[in-house]
Amino acid sequence: MPIESVAQAIHERWRQDAIAKGDSAPRWCELDESRKASSRDQARHIPVHLRAIGCVIEPLTDGQATDFSFTESEVTTLAAAEHDRWNRERAADGWTLATEKNVALKQTPYLLPWEQLNERYPNIAAMDAMFVKALPAILAAAGLQIVRTAAS
């Protein structure tokens, strides 16, 4: 899987969502290396998370690949896995749990297990679910598609 292409597609999806909300959002070429590394790490874990629900990534051959959809249970499983990955990434980078987000001090209130995040900050948990639902389009932008394996 072309990690760089997927990482850029992940960032571009985030950027378009941010712009739609009226937020500023830097282009890939304007990101610092830590933000690029975060998107690359997220991209590297997508195949692992998909295998857990009986799916794989293949080169794009189906024009309807963006129509792929997950069950609600799969969305929850994948969103929880992505949030757990994000927690590990942040902790490894020195972030700590705090009541308020402070980027300069690497503090965030979202460094919680999925269940607690979903209870306390459902809007943040919903962002993980939105990412999961956007995966078919994100991967298609990188020339890839999600396919269910015969065993699923």
Q: Is beta strand 107-108 parallel, antiparallel or unpaired with respect to 55-59? A: unpaired
* pLDDT tens digits along 60-91: 997 777 789 999 999 999 999 999 999 999 99
Note whether 90 and 111 are within 8 A (CB).
yes
* pLDDT tens digits along 34-59: 999 999 999 999 999 999 999 999 99
Note whether 151 and 54 are within 8 A (CB).
yes
Measure the CA angle with vertex 65, ends 73 and 55; round to 5°. 45
φ, ψ at 30 (rounded to 5°): -95, -5
Q: How far apart are CA 47 and CA 75, in angstroms?
A: 15
pTM of the model: 0.89
Listed in sequence order, the residues at least 6 apart from 121 whose beta carbon sits closer than 8 Å to its beta carbon are 109, 110, 112
